[in-house]
Amino acid sequence: MLCDSIFFTVSRFKLTVNSSFFHTRLSFWRNALLESTKSVRKMTCDVLEMMADGLGIKPRNTLSKLVSGENTDSIFRLNHYPPCPLINNNSNGSNIVIGFGEHTDPQIISVLRSNNTSGLQINLSDGSWPVPSDPSSFFFNVSDSLQVLTNGRFKSVKHTVSANSRKSRVFMIYFAGPSLTQRIAPLTCLIDNEDESLYEEFTWSEYKNSAYNSRLSDNRLQPFEKKAVSLND
């Protein structure tokens, strides 16, 4: 298996584990994961409130409240990429990517923490930039829904995630999403006569279904744009 993933559906008071890996000592893992996700959620809300401060959004919990309620559609995922010598032993000379190709995340914001093995790259218009691994740090990626809410002021981060040829890579990701019925549209406080709304309003459920039925590398916000704009410069 090239990648082992464990998914957890997270709500305020309940954690549902859908992997046979945790059938033993389930109570221990449940409690540990509940505490971990609560802490990561609190940190995520703090960061979103600082981002709101930076844009002058009032009240400052306008963004954070979208991911802090009981019915939020958030996911906590653990990934394990075993070493993959094939990456360096490709006889054809072509580049092999074992992992996830270039994509953005559809939620509001994503929080990543990994072991001391590199594999995350940020993809910009001037090339791909490796992110140095740091097991003592958390990495935050702006996601599609936050790009819409801020009317393009914060841009969703294109990135790739790959295995390592010599070392295992283990990382956790917290995808902070709103409730399925939450309506997503540019905040009115960020729109004036000279800065029109760039996106149509949609529910998180509508966008989630659209995103997961598209190709990973697609610009999944394009069908919801009001006019032809480029936010990738």
Residue type, position 129, single letter: W
Question: Using CB atoms within 10 A of its CB, is residue 79 exposed (0-12), middle (13-18) or buried (19+)?
Answer: buried
**Max alpha carbon distance in the chain (Å)?**
59
Annotation marks residue 60 as catalytic: no
Query: Alpha-carbon distance 181 to 25, whole Å?
Result: 35
Using alpha carbons, select from 82, 111, 108, 86 the residue that is nearest to residue 97. Answer: 86
Which tokens in the block code for residue 118?
């590199």
- DSSP conformation class of 8: E
d(C-alpha 21, C-alpha 6), whole Å: 8
Task: Tell me: cis bond preceding 178? Omega within 30 of 0 counts.
Answer: no
Active-site residue among 12, 25, 166, 169?
Answer: 169
Catalytic residues: 169
